[in-house]
Structure formats: C-alpha cells, structure tokens
Amino acid sequence: MKQVKIGNSEFKASAVALGIMRMDKLSVDEAVTILEETKNDGINFIDSANVYGMGKAEEIFGKAFKKSSLTRSDFYIQSKGGIYCNPDRNMEITRYDFSQANLINTVDGILQRMGIDYLDSFLLHRPDALMDPAEIATAFDILQRDGKVRHFGVSNLNPLQVELIQSGINQKLLINQLQFGVMHTGPVDFGIHTNMLDKRSIDHDGGVLEYSRLHNMTIQAWSPFQYGQFEGTFIDDPNHQEVNDELQKLGDKYHVSKNAIATAWILRHPAKLQVIAGTMNPMHLRDSAKGADVELTAQEWYDIYMAAGNDLP
C-alpha cells in the first residue's frame, strides 16, 4: 500500500484509511473480520469520531480490537470531537463545542470506548463559532502531556479558522479532513475558473486546497464516492452515466474497479491526499484500496473531471 506523509511530521500512513462511521451496524465478530482484513490489505489507519453511532461505532471497534489478533502498533488510530449531542434533547446535535472541558472529556470517552491508551491524532470536528484558541491550547497541552493524543488536526475548517486556532496552540495542526472526490470537486473548481463569472468560480472554502499544500497539511478526503453531501454514491448510478463510463474505461485499462479509479483520481492530485473509505465490506474495501497502486495520467485525471460534469473555461 502506498504511504503518505501526514503533515510535516514523520508520521506516515497508508494512502487509504478505514473510516468506522458505519461500524455500529456490525456485530463484534463482523468487526473483527473487517479489522483483520484491513490490516492484511496494507491499510494501517483508522478514522473515527465520537458521534459515529452516538459512540456505538467506537464501542464495537474496542470490543472487536480486543477480540482480534491485532496489536496497538498495527494501526494509527484517529478520532474527532467537538460536535455536542445534547442528552437533554434526545441526543440531538445542538452546538459545536471546542471548550477545554468538552475536548478533554471527549477524548477520555473515545479512549474508554475504543479500549486504547492514546490516539495517534485527534481532530476538531466542524468549526465552533464560539471557539477560543486559548481554551483549545490548554486542552491540547493537557491531552499531549498526559499521553492521550500524539498529533492534532481539524475537520471541515477553512484556512482562516485554521490560522486562528494555530495562532494560539503549541502543536502543529497536521490534518484537515474535507469532502473531496470525483463528484465533489469544489476545492479545485474555483481555481480552474479563476477570473471567470460562472458558479464554479466561487470560492466556497477560502482556497483550502492551496492553503493546505502551502502549510504541509494533509487533506483526508471523506465520502470519496458520494455526490452532493449525503445524497448517495455515484458509482453505478444511472443518473451519472458519463462519469461511470469513463471510470469503467479506465478500470478496464488498469484492471481494477470503478471505485479503485475514483480512489486513484483523488490520490493523483499532488497535494498528497489520504482517502477515507467507509465501507464495512472487506471485499469492497480491498477493491477500492487497489486504486492506491494506480497512477493516472494527467489527461486521464482531466477526462474524469470533465465526465463528472465539469468544464474547462
């Protein structure tokens, strides 16, 4: 499995990671299978969040990890926190909360559910409009001092939000987790359409892709096979026939699946992204991960981009 360097650290991991958002739907034995097959396929990075299944995904992971033949050194384990689910409102998401107390309590809960002593990385999950860099700094210092978190990052934050947090903390933010893929191309659209007046020329995220490259932040692409935000997968969707035809053509050329080509498309970008695959099917995961070994040409990358409904000005 191709390796990517995480941020500007010596922290290296597989180019494809396993996201466990759907692990709460599995039995412990099923989770054992996916974890062991993940390791056998060369994937050594696990991504989670405290809100996945309201914590149940991490509980299943913890039980499965303990029951498996795996050891802590087999995986880099990452989780996210900062989304507050209010127990007084039926666990509804009522705010984002980067307060010192909430961040520390969140990490403690994650470690307990997952049955581990530390996280390799902890990300702030979606921006808190009321965030205070001084409170974040205190939380990060305590978590690192106590050996509970080794590295830090963010998820779905724009460059100015990253700069604001970075200005107040002692650790380097290594990661920004963002939605990016064949059918979610906003981070590259506005750059291609610079000095144009069409919709794709609008910068929705503050130039986060270019910012991340300049500051050596690794972008982790979530929902890589989705269109829109949560509408569904575009793979084999007849409403997205042109892009599926292009993926199939290249899949035939490289002897891999359409999912693998969609993975290769993300990894072809020189920003050295990491792909978070969220399937709980070992065969599907292995199938998608094969894209890490496919090096698309520049023309093939653009052909897929165009087939996805984009244009070049």
CA distance 312 to 192: 7
Among 53-57, 171-175, 230-234, the range scoring the smallest mean pLDDT is 230-234
Element (H, E) at 70: none
Residue 277 placed within a domain: yes
pLDDT confidence bin for 88, thresholds 50/70/90: confident
Does residue 292 sit in helix, strand or coil? helix
pLDDT confidence bin for 140, thresholds 50/70/90: very high
Residue 312 placed within a domain: no
Residue 131 placed within a domain: yes
Instruction: Name the average pLDDT for the chain.
Output: 95
CB 234 within 8 A of CB 227: yes
Tokens of 23: 């692990």
Q: Is pLDDT at 213 greater than 80 in this prediction?
A: yes
Handedness of CA 211, 216, 222, 225 (dihedral sign): positive
The pLDDT assigned to 85 comes to 84
CA distance 236 to 233: 8
Tokens of 210: 């270019």
Q: Is pLDDT at 97 greater than 90 in this prediction?
A: yes
pLDDT in tens, 26-80: 999 999 999 999 999 999 999 999 999 999 999 999 999 999 999 999 999 999 9
| Phi-psi category of residue 206: left, alpha or beta, with phi > 0 → left and psi -120 to 50 → alpha | left
Q: Is pLDDT at 106 greater than 90 in this prediction?
A: yes
CA distance 221 to 209: 11
**Structurally, how many domains does the chain consist of?**
1
pLDDT in tens, 181-197: 999 999 999 999 998 88
Percent of the chain surpassing pLDDT 70 = 99
**Mean pLDDT to the nearest integer, 127-134:** 97
**Mean pLDDT to the nearest integer, 4-23:** 94
The pLDDT assigned to 230 comes to 67
Domain of 104 in residue numbering reads as 3-307
CATH code for the domain of 93? 3.20.20.100
CA distance 288 to 250: 14
**Mean pLDDT to the nearest integer, 116-131:** 97
Among 126-140, 188-202, 234-248, the range scoring the smallest mean pLDDT is 188-202
pLDDT confidence bin for 222, thresholds 50/70/90: very high
Element (H, E) at 4: strand 3-5
CA distance 82 to 186: 25
**Mean pLDDT to the nearest integer, 258-285:** 95
- 96: amino acid identity, one letter: Y
Tokens of 131: 């965030």
Residue 313 placed within a domain: no
pLDDT greater at residue 64 or residue 203: 64
CB 277 within 8 A of CB 289: yes
pTM value is 0.94
Question: What are the residue ranges of helices labelled H in the chain?
Answer: 28-40, 56-67, 100-114, 133-145, 159-166, 186-192, 208-214, 241-254, 258-267, 282-289, 298-307
Percent of the chain surpassing pLDDT 90 = 88
Q: How far is CA 303 from its chain centroid?
A: 25
CA distance 62 to 116: 8
